[in-house]
């Protein structure tokens, strides 16, 4: 199964809640200029919002909290900027968790949005959306159990066209999967239309992390394991490139948190700093040039 972390029938994903709380808290705890404007995350969290954001208010300088805010804000900034700059008509969010793009972005007027996640996660999210009175008419929910279901078939049944290029966002997920599971999903995506583009987040091998990444990992790895959502996969940029190459993708660039947003946004008066624990990779299926 796949989401921002994982979930099962026992309850919602803790890591999905932490990611949404980080995006919401960024606008409250950190000073302008903000890396990213998620104006819906706090509303979506509903009755849990005050509690989750309070941790950032009280302990916002803690490495795992400030690191989470920088991570979730930088990766969303980059991915949605890429969508805005392209001519994609389909936007596929793999492991959508509590992503809020479809409920706040003006881009939803020109792109068809598909949120893919485990059915239990989607049921939880739809309850939150309903409780918050948020319109869901701008998104197709595609519930997929990756151990049993065919991703392409499920998407096609919901109107997704595998023969037309799409931007595929895969954030906050691969570190919770085995490399074989990651490869299986890449194998499915590789059969889609040339020009399809993937923005995928991955966790770095220990020896490649900077000092802030090392400190973040010390806390985050223990916390996610304790919550029943352990991180399983770590890569170098070279090994990610090789993995994508084996599945027919051409890598355009690897992006650190520092380079995911405009450099001016890191000239800050607060303590928010980039953390080199996770990076993004942008790749496409050859046959149509992507700059």
Query: What is the SS3 string spanning 108-144?
Result: HHCCEEEEEECHHHHHHHHHHHHHHCCCCCCEEEEEC
Give the pLDDT of residue 11: 54
% of the chain surpassing 90 pLDDT: 88
pLDDT of 289 over the 80 cut: no
187 token code pair:
């194998």
% of the chain surpassing 70 pLDDT: 95
pLDDT of 167 over the 70 cut: yes
Rounded Cα distance, 45 and 51, in Å: 10
Phi, psi of 67 (to 5 degrees): -65, -35
How do residues 18-74 score in pLDDT, each as one tens digit? Answer: 999 999 999 999 999 999 999 999 999 999 999 999 999 999 999 999 999 999 999
pLDDT of 291 over the 50 cut: no
Rounded Cα distance, 281 and 220, in Å: 21
Q: In which order are the strands placed within the sheet that holds 167-170?
A: 139-143, 112-117, 90-94, 167-170, 197-203, 278-284, 250-255
In the beta sheet, which residues pair with residue 168?
92, 198
Per the CB < 8 A criterion, the answer to whether 53 and 28 are in contact is yes
How do residues 191-201 score in pLDDT, each as one tens digit? Answer: 999 999 999 99
Give the pLDDT of residue 4: 42
| Pair type for strands 167-170 and 197-203 | parallel
Tell me the mean pLDDT in the region 101-125: 94
Tell me the mean pLDDT in the region 203-221: 97
How do residues 216-266 score in pLDDT, each as one tens digit? Answer: 999 999 999 988 889 999 999 999 999 999 999 999 999 999 999 999 999
Tell me the mean pLDDT in the region 157-178: 96
Tell me the mean pLDDT in the region 123-127: 96
Give the pLDDT of residue 242: 98
17 token code pair:
């809640």
Q: What's the whole-model pTM score?
A: 0.93
pLDDT of 1 over the 50 cut: no
């Amino acid at each position: 199964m796949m989401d921002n972390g994982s979930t099962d029938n026992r309850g919602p994903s803790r890591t999905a809640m932490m990611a949404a709380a980080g995006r919401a808290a960024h606008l409250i705890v950190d000073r302008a200029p903000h890396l990213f404007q998620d104006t819906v995350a706090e509303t979506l969290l509903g009755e849990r919002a005050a509690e989750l954001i309070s941790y950032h208010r009280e302990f916002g300088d803690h490495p795992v909290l400030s690191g989470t805010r920088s991570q979730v804000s930088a990766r969303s900034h980059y991915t949605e900027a890429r969508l805005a700059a392209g001519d994609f008509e389909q936007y596929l969010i793999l492991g959508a968790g509590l992503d809020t793009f479809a409920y706040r972005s003006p881009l939803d007027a020109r792109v068809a949005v598909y949120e893919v996640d485990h059915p239990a996660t989607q049921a939880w999210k739809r309850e939150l959306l309903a409780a918050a009175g948020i319109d869901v008419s701008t998104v197709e929910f595609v519930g997929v159990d990756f151990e049993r279901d065919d991703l392409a078939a499920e998407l096609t049944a919901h109107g997704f066209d595998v023969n037309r290029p799409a931007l595929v966002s895969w954030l906050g997920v691969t570190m919770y999967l085995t490399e074989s599971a990651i490869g299986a999903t890449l194998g499915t995506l590789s059969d889609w239309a040339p020009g399809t583009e993937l923005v995928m987040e991955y966790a770095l091998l220990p020896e490649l992390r900077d000092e802030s990444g090392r400190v973040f990992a010390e806390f985050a790895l223990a916390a996610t394991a304790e919550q029943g959502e352990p991180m399983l996969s770590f890569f170098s940029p070279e090994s990610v490139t090789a993995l994508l190459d084996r599945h027919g993708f051409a890598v355009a660039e690897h992006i650190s948190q520092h380079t995911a947003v405009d450099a001016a946004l890191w000239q800050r008066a607060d303590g928010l700093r980039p953390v080199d624990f996770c990076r993004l990779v942008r790749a496409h299926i050859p046959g149509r040039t992507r700059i």
